[in-house]
Amino acid sequence: MKNNFIKTLAQSLILISFLGCSSSKKNNIESISMKNEKYIVKENLKPSNLSDISDNQINDHWTLYVGYVNQVNKLNEELSELAAKGQLNSLTYSDRRRQYGFEYNGMVLHEYYFGNLKNNVSKNKMAELYKAIQKNWGSFDNWAQDFINTGTTRGIGWAILYADPTTKDLINCFIAEHQIGNITGFMPILVMDVWEHAYMVDHKAGGRVDYINAFLKNVDWSVVEKRYDDLINSKITKRF
Ligand SMILES: [Fe+2]
């Protein structure tokens, strides 16, 4: 009996020791270095020949998107380097960690935005999205007015028509900057940038409403409707 107790105790100590090693290995600096692939600029998403949004405006805006791609890559590199140097408790490391939401959303939202812009694409009134909009808002025009109202919220940010993958419900949301107000797990169906840089070239600082009306003339409904079709069919929509 006594021998069995000692044997069990010894096995427990070995197990605890093993778990301890495993945990310490988990905290090993090498194991937490970032090794993500670098993002590249998605040239195929760049729109042109839009209605009431000039190519000059798009070129200017595109440069900012390129900046976000570069910043995301730089952010991951810096985090990796700081981890490799053992500077996990530094202010710089904390600061870079806090930048994730801003830089990543800055890149990703621009890809959804440019990806849903194209001139002269009509909406399909038979599409599931059109039916869902009618069901939620009573009419397409009611939704459009609500989306315009969302886009004129004071401050820099985005108006996004989101879909809830669980309920399939639609909601218009305002996102401040790039990262404040995003709803976790919801799918962006239609994304509109309302930072001033999105319309300054064409419409000046006070021209947000004119820009929004121009934006709505250039929605690539085929892309937007597919995003919603994919959602209701539980398919992942790739943004590029
Ligand atoms: Fe932008």
Q: Is the domain of 182 the same as that of 93?
A: no
Q: Provide the whole-model pTM.
A: 0.86
CA of 201 to the centre of ligand 1 (A): 13
Q: Please, are residues 230 and 236 in contact by the beta-carbon 8 Å criterion?
A: yes
Q: Is the domain of 101 the same as that of 141?
A: no
Q: Is the domain of 141 the same as that of 224?
A: yes
Distance between CA atoms of residues 45 and 115, nearest Å? 5
CA of 114 to the centre of ligand 1 (A): 9
Could you give the number of structural domains in the chain?
Answer: 2
CA of 197 to the centre of ligand 1 (A): 6
Of 115, 136, 164, the last residue of a domain is: 115
Q: Is the domain of 161 the same as that of 208?
A: yes
Q: Residue 66's domain spans which residues?
A: 53-115
Q: Starting at the earlier edge strand, list the strands of the sheet with 157-163.
A: 170-176, 157-163, 187-193
* 172-180 mean pLDDT: 98
Question: Which one, of 170, 53, 208, 60, lies nearest residue 118 by Cα?
Answer: 53
* 59-71 mean pLDDT: 98
**Virtual torsion, Cα 165, 166, 172, 177, nearest 10 deg:** -60
Helix (H) or strand (E) holding 173: strand 170-176
pLDDT digits (tens, 9 = 90+) for 131-155: 999 999 999 999 999 999 999 999 9
Q: Is the domain of 146 the same as that of 59?
A: no
User: What 3-state DSSP class applies to 212?
Assistant: helix
CA of 64 to the centre of ligand 1 (A): 7
CA of 60 to the centre of ligand 1 (A): 10
pLDDT digits (tens, 9 = 90+) for 18-36: 333 333 334 455 445 556 7
Lowest-confidence region among 16-30, 43-57, 66-80, 196-210: 16-30
